[in-house]
Amino acid sequence: MSATPLLELRGIDKSFGPVQVLRDVAFSAFPGQVTALVGDNGAGKSTLVKCISGIYPTDAGEFLFNGRPVSIHNPRDAAALGIEVVYQDLALCDNLDIVQNMFLGREKRHGLVLDEPTMEQMAADTLAGLSVRTVKSLRQQVSSLSGGQRQTVAIAKAVLWNSKVVILDEPTAALGVAQTAQVLELVRRLADNGLAVVLISHNMNDVFAVSDRIAALYLGQMVAEVKTTDITHAQIVELITAGRSGALGLSSGNGSNDTGGEPAAAPGAAR
C-alpha cells in the first residue's frame, strides 16, 4: 500500500478550559488498513475523533490529507474531504426511515423537490455493495431496527459518499456476539475496499481481529503507533493502563512522548 498516510495529524492540542485533553497528538490512517485507536476512558479518543470530524476546533496542530495540509472547521469540511464518522451514540434519527437517515443533510433533489427514487436506489446499492441483507425494507423507521441493524445503517451512511476515511467510534459496544461478528466483518470489508478505517474500541478481541495497526492514547498523549502483528495483547493493555510497555510508550518520568512514540511509529507504514 502507499507510504503516505491518507490522513495525518501532527501536534494536535486541545483543552476544555483548564483541562488539557489532547497533548501534542500525532496520528495517521492509511488506505486499505484498519487502524485501531485504543485508550482508557478519558484518554481522549472521542475528543480526537471530534477534532478530526470538525465538531471541536483544535487549539494547535496540523491536518494533512493525502499529504496536503487542510483545515477542518466544521463537519461539512470533514465531509467534503471524504472523512465520515460513525458515532458511538449512532447519530441516527429514530423518527426517520433508513433512506432518510442515510441522506440526512445531503439529500438528492430535483430543484426544490426531494428525489426519493434516486436516494432509495443509491441506498439499496450501497447496502448491497456491503453485502448487507439484514434489513427488510429501506422505508422502515430506524426506531424499529435492532442494534446491529442500526450500526449497519450508520456505517452504510458513512460509506455512501465515496468517503475515503471512515472513523468508527465503539461500533460494537452495545452489540451481542453474532451482531458484533457481523459488524466487524463489515469493518474489514470497508478496508478491503480501499478505505482508511479508524476503529475506536475498548474490546481487545475486536482490535486484534480486524486491525492492521494500533494507536494507543494515554491521558491525552499518543504513546504508540504500531503494527498489530508486532505487539501482544498484554503489551497493549500495559500501554493503555500505564502509558508504556518495555521500550514502547512514554519514557519514564517526564511525561513527554518524543522518545517512545516515534521509533515505534515507523513500522506502521508497512504493508
Partner 1 sequence: MTSTALPDQESAAAPAAVPTLTSHVRGYLSRVRGGEIGALPAVLGLIVLCTVFSIMRPSFLTAANFANLFTQGAAVTLIAMGLVFVLLLGEIDLSAGFASGVCAAVLANVVTVLGYPWYVAVLAAVLTGVAIGSVLGMLVAKIGIPSFVVTLAGFLAFQGIVLLLMEEGRNISVRDPVLVAIANRNLAPALGWALAGLTVAGYAAVQAMRYRTRAARGLVTDPLTVVFARIIGLATVLGTTVYLLNQERSFNILINSLKGVPIVVPLIAVLLITGTFVLQRTSYGRHIYAVGGNKEAARRAGINVDRIRISVFVICSAMAAIGGIVAASRANSVDPNTGGSNVLLYAVGAAVIGGTSLFGGKGRVLDAVLGGAVVAVIDNGMGLMGYSSGVKYVVTGVVLLLAASVDALSRRRAAANGGR
Contacting residue, 60, 114, 234, 247, with partner 1 by CB under 8 A: 114
Phi, psi values for residue 231, rounded to 5°: -140, 150
Q: How far is the CB of 252 from partner 1 (least distance, A)?
A: 37
CA distance 143 to 90: 12
Contacting residue, 4, 137, 205, 229, with partner 1 by CB under 8 A: 137
DSSP state of 232: -
- Residues with Cβ within 8 Å of 28's Cβ and at least 6 positions away in sequence, in order, are 5, 7, 8, 9, 35, 225, 265, 268
Binding residue count for partner 1, defined by CB under 8 A: 49
C-alpha cell at 246: 518495555
C-alpha cell at 59: 487549539
Name the segment binding partner 1 (CB under 8 A); options: 65-73, 99-107, 241-249, 252-260.
99-107
* Smaller CB separation from partner 1, 152 or 221: 152
Q: How far is the CB of 166 from partner 1 (least distance, A)?
A: 14
> Cβ distance 51 to 25 under 8 Å?
no
Site residues (CB under 8 A) for partner 1, limited to 175-204: 178, 181-182, 184-185, 188
Q: How far is the CB of 133 from partner 1 (least distance, A)?
A: 6
Q: How far is the CB of 107 from partner 1 (least distance, A)?
A: 4
CA distance 156 to 102: 7
Q: How far is the CB of 40 from partner 1 (least distance, A)?
A: 24
* Smaller CB separation from partner 1, 64 or 181: 181
Contacting residue, 60, 104, 242, 247, with partner 1 by CB under 8 A: 104
Q: What is the dihedral of CA 102, 105, 106, 108, to 10 degrees?
A: 80
Beta strands in 41-188 (DSSP E): 60-65, 68-70, 83-86, 109-110, 113-114, 165-169
Q: How far is the CB of 34 from partner 1 (least distance, A)?
A: 10
- Residues with Cβ within 8 Å of 245's Cβ and at least 6 positions away in sequence, in order, are 224, 234, 235, 236, 238, 239
Q: What is the dihedral of CA 146, 147, 150, 155, to 10 degrees?
A: -140
CA distance 118 to 123: 9
User: Can residue 121 be called a binding residue for partner 1 (CB under 8 A)?
Assistant: yes
Q: How far is the CB of 250 from partner 1 (least distance, A)?
A: 31
Tell me how far the alpha carbon of residue 195 is from its chain's centroid. 11
CA atoms within 13 A on the CB side of 157: 29
x-marked contacts with partner 1 along 60-89 as a string, rule CB under 8 A:
--------------xxx--x-----x-x-x
Q: How far is the CB of 57 from partner 1 (least distance, A)?
A: 15
Interacting residues with partner 1 (CB under 8 A): 53, 55, 74-76, 79, 85, 87, 89-96, 100, 104-107, 109, 112-114, 117, 120-121, 128, 131, 133-137, 139, 141, 143-146, 178, 181-182, 184-185, 188, 209-210
